[in-house]
């Protein structure tokens, strides 16, 4: 059984930083691609960052230069470092496997950025 568990969300002022974590059971990140998605109220879920099984990362234009995806294979955990946060980054953030047309989703973690 695959389980993805996000953590690290919270309330932060604009310009601040947060680091999200996604810990996996039942699937190995080192052998799979994964993605970080977010969904703001009234908007569609969007892919903001992803990594291939080969380690190549991609970012949405809206977060490029501010968000950094990394991983720890020993912990089977992927991180999303979010810097220079903006109010428009407010959303529920989900990790998912694989990075496109995911089969598995975490429960989500709320990120709220105040102006």
First-to-last CA distance in the chain? 40
β-pair type (91-97, 34-39)? antiparallel
pLDDT digits (tens, 9 = 90+) for 62-104: 999 999 999 999 999 999 999 999 999 999 999 999 998 999 9
The torsion of the CA quartet 10, 50, 104, 16, rounded to 10 degrees, works out to: 0
Q: What residues contact residue 98 under an 8 Å CB cut-off, 6+ apart?
A: 32, 33, 34, 35
Tens of pLDDT, residues 33-73: 999 999 999 999 999 999 998 889 999 999 999 999 999 99
Rounded Cα distance, 45 and 71, in Å: 23
């Amino acid at each position: 059984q695959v389980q993805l568990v996000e953590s690290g969300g919270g309330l932060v002022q604009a310009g601040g930083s947060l680091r999200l974590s996604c810990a996996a059971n039942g699937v190995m990140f080192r052998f799979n691609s994964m993605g970080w998605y977010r969904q703001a109220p009234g908007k569609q879920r969007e892919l903001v960052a992803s990594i291939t099984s080969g380690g190549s990362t991609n970012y949405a234009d809206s977060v490029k230069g501010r968000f950094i995806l990394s991983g720890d294979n020993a912990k089977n955990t992927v991180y999303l470092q979010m810097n220079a946060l903006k109010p428009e980054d407010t959303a529920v953030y989900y990790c998912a496997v694989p990075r496109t047309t995911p089969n598995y989703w975490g429960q989500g973690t709320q990120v709220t950025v105040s102006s």
